[in-house]
Amino acid sequence: MRLLVVGGGVAGPAVALAAVRLGLEATVLERRAVADPEEGSWITVAPNGLDALEALGVLDEVRALAVPSRATSMFGATGRHLGDVTLGKPLADGTVALTMRRSALAVLLADAAQQAGALVRRGADVVSVEDEPGRPVRVVLADGTAVEGDLLVAADGVRSRIRRTVDPAAPDARYVGLANFGGITRAADLDPSVVAGLAPEAWHFVFGRRSFFGAHPLPTGDVVWFANVPREPILRAERAATTDEEWLALLGGLVAGDAGPAAALVAAGSLELAGDSTYDLPHVPTWWRERTVLVGDAAHAPSPSSGQGAAMALEDAVVLARAVAAHGLDGPAAYERSRRARVEAVVRAGARSSSAKIPGRLGRVLVETMLAGVFRSGVAARATLAQTSHRLGDPVVPSSPSAG
Ligand SMILES: Cc1cc2nc3c(=O)[nH]c(=O)nc-3n(C[C@H](O)[C@H](O)[C@H](O)COP(=O)(O)OP(=O)(O)OC[C@H]3O[C@@H](n4cnc5c(N)ncnc54)[C@H](O)[C@@H]3O)c2cc1C
């Protein structure tokens, strides 16, 4: 069985890795020509995603490029402490959630898939799919060449092009009302009191007056941060016309007056992600057709506020590869049966987290009091524990006993 996997983000290389470990063939086709592990935004992979990485046999390598994240401390705009929330149930060996660059995770997974026997082709932009009954599936690349396989795995992200070839009526991704910015501030550019005010190995979240801000210290003393700004989507033209300095000035204005580290971090920081519009994808009615199946954000994208998108993509990858190894071309149906209810519940929870970041008609003080009540009641912690306690069971291929 030859898998053609479109997309070299998180889900694609993870499917390829699991598939080759299970004796299938896999080729990953990624549009971007160069893989840079040092670019873009940071993500936190919750313990359920780490469990999937463990099943894939790469958790130790991931641990080496990540920093632990034990909890999130929530604050209001005036500095009021609203509560602390766990980032999930640790793995049996005590491993807590891990924070890393998304690009570093993607490159690690692609390298691991390649070492295990998959082919990873970069600069391979899939422009069309031919999937007719009784024939191998065929994709055409932007350079005019074509590649054939027995099953096409569409891991091409929340704005998936292939979703519409599976179902022409498939929904578009939904804008959740927040623009995303990510940055890093170097220790050398920071007053030490700013870092001292941040708990180590934790996210520090501020429900600010005009934006939602998150900061995480690194062991080097540098601090990574993000800001979610409620506004209409940022379109390509605005992004192209706005410099990083202009975005930073805008962010500086939005966080001005909020208590906490945001103003200092923005003032001395540089942007790594600018003006990214935030989407989710709650319900895609058709996940597979003929020889094509959707996986990861292409099938079900939780808003980034859920902190679960990458973890869901990793869980998907293991479940799909196992289902195809066990059931061949009937694998996608088995995969959908075991995944749909779980991922759609996670997307719904993510949408609620996003809307809590958008100031509504209720005043800030009321919202802070409500949030403090929610955190104190343990509702948020219980929801996180429920999401992150999910485990996939055994490794994809159990490690063989050592010889001798
Ligand atoms: C700002 C931000 C913060 C986030 N934070 C978190 C977090 O803390 N925790 C968490 O778990 N998740 C987080 N997420 C979500 C997470 O990043 C995604 O859920 C995850 O990356 C989904 O993986 P994927 O492989 O399905 O899609 P992607 O990672 O988007 O990968 C899709 C890949 O397909 C390629 N591609 C697209 N079209 C084609 C084509 N036609 N031909 C070839 N290649 C193609 C793209 O270049 C890309 O590499 C965050 C997301 C954002 C935007």
In a domain, residue 328? The reply is yes
In a domain, 403, yes or no: no
The answer to whether residues 245 and 258 belong to one domain is yes
Mark whether 190 and 339 lie in a shared domain: no
Angstrom CA distances, 398 to 51, 56, 118, 211, 386, stand at: 14, 10, 19, 46, 27
pLDDT of residue 398: 63
Q: Answer yes or no: is 400 within a domain.
A: no
User: Measured from the CB, is residue 313 less than 6 Å from ligand 1?
Assistant: yes
Q: What is the pLDDT of residue 352?
A: 79
**What is the side-by-side order of every strand in the sheet holding 151-154?**
119-122, 25-30, 2-6, 151-154, 292-294, 288-289
* Same domain? 164 vs 227: no
371 and 275 belong to one structural domain: no
pLDDT tens across the length of the chain (404 residues): 999 999 999 999 999 999 999 999 999 999 999 999 999 999 999 999 999 999 999 999 999 999 999 999 999 999 999 999 999 999 999 999 999 999 999 999 999 999 999 999 999 999 999 999 999 999 999 999 999 999 999 999 999 999 999 999 999 999 999 999 999 999 999 999 999 999 999 999 999 999 999 999 999 999 999 999 999 999 999 999 999 999 999 999 999 999 999 999 999 999 999 999 999 999 999 999 999 999 999 999 998 888 999 999 999 999 999 999 999 999 999 999 999 999 999 999 888 776 666 666 567 778 788 888 888 888 888 888 888 999 998 788 765 444 33
User: Residue 71 — left, alpha, or beta (φ > 0 → left; ψ -120 to 50 → alpha)?
Assistant: beta
C-alpha of residue 43 to centroid of ligand 1, in Å: 11
Distance CA(341)–CA(48), nearest Å, equals 16
CB atoms within 10 A of CB 226: 22
111, 36 contact by CB (below 8 A): no
- Do 232 and 191 belong together in one domain? yes
pLDDT of residue 309: 97
161 close to ligand 1 (CB < 6 Angstrom): yes
Which of 238, 255, 280 delimits the end of a domain? 280
Token pair belonging to 239: 């992004």
Tell the burial category of 179 from Cβ atoms under 10 Å away from its Cβ (0-12, 13-18, 19+).
buried
- Tell whether ligand 1 has an atom less than 6 A from the beta carbon of residue 104: no
Please check whether residue 152 lies inside any domain of the structure: yes
154 shares a domain with 268: no
**What pLDDT does 92 receive?**
95
At residue 360, the pLDDT reads: 62
- Same domain as 208, residue 241: yes
Q: 396 in a domain, yes or no?
A: no
Pairing status of strand 137-141 against strand 126-130: antiparallel
Task: Indicate whether residue 280 lines ligand 1 (CB < 6 A).
Answer: no
Instruction: Assess whether the C-beta atom of 87 lies below 6 angstroms from ligand 1.
Output: no
Range of the domain at 126: 2-173+281-388
Count of CB atoms within 10 A of residue 404's CB?
3
CA of 304 to the centre of ligand 1 (A): 10
For the domain that residue 345 is a member of, what is the CATH number? 3.50.50.60
Nearest to 83 by CA among 216, 212, 256, 206: 206
The residue nearest atom 9 of ligand 1, judged by CA position, is 307
**153 CB less than 6 Å from ligand 1?**
no
Model pLDDT, residue 353: 73
CATH number at 191 reads 3.30.9.30
* Residue 162 and residue 178 in one domain: no
CB distance 43 to ligand 1 below 6 Å: yes
Residue nearest to atom 4 of ligand 1 (CA): 304
Q: Decide if 271 is inside a domain.
A: yes
Report whether residue 149 contacts ligand 1, using a CB cutoff of 6 Å.
Answer: no
Q: Which of 280, 305, 338 marks a domain boundary?
A: 280
Q: At what angle do helices 379-388 and 47-55 cross, to 10 degrees?
A: 10
Tell me if 307 is assigned to some domain: yes
Are 251 and 311 part of one and the same domain? no
Residues 164 and 30 in one domain: yes
Per the CB < 8 A criterion, the answer to whether 348 and 306 are in contact is no
Q: Are residues 93 and 168 in the same domain?
A: yes
CB neighbour list of residue 192: distance below 8 Å, 6 or more residues apart: none
Residue 146 belongs to some domain of the structure: yes
Cα–Cα distance between 300 and 92 in angstroms, integer?
Answer: 28
Residue 358 confidence (pLDDT): 66
Q: Which atom of ligand 1 is nearest to the CA of 29?
A: 43
Number of domains in the chain: 2
**Whether residue 153 is found in the same domain as residue 260:** no
156 C-alpha vs ligand 1 centroid, how far in Å?
8
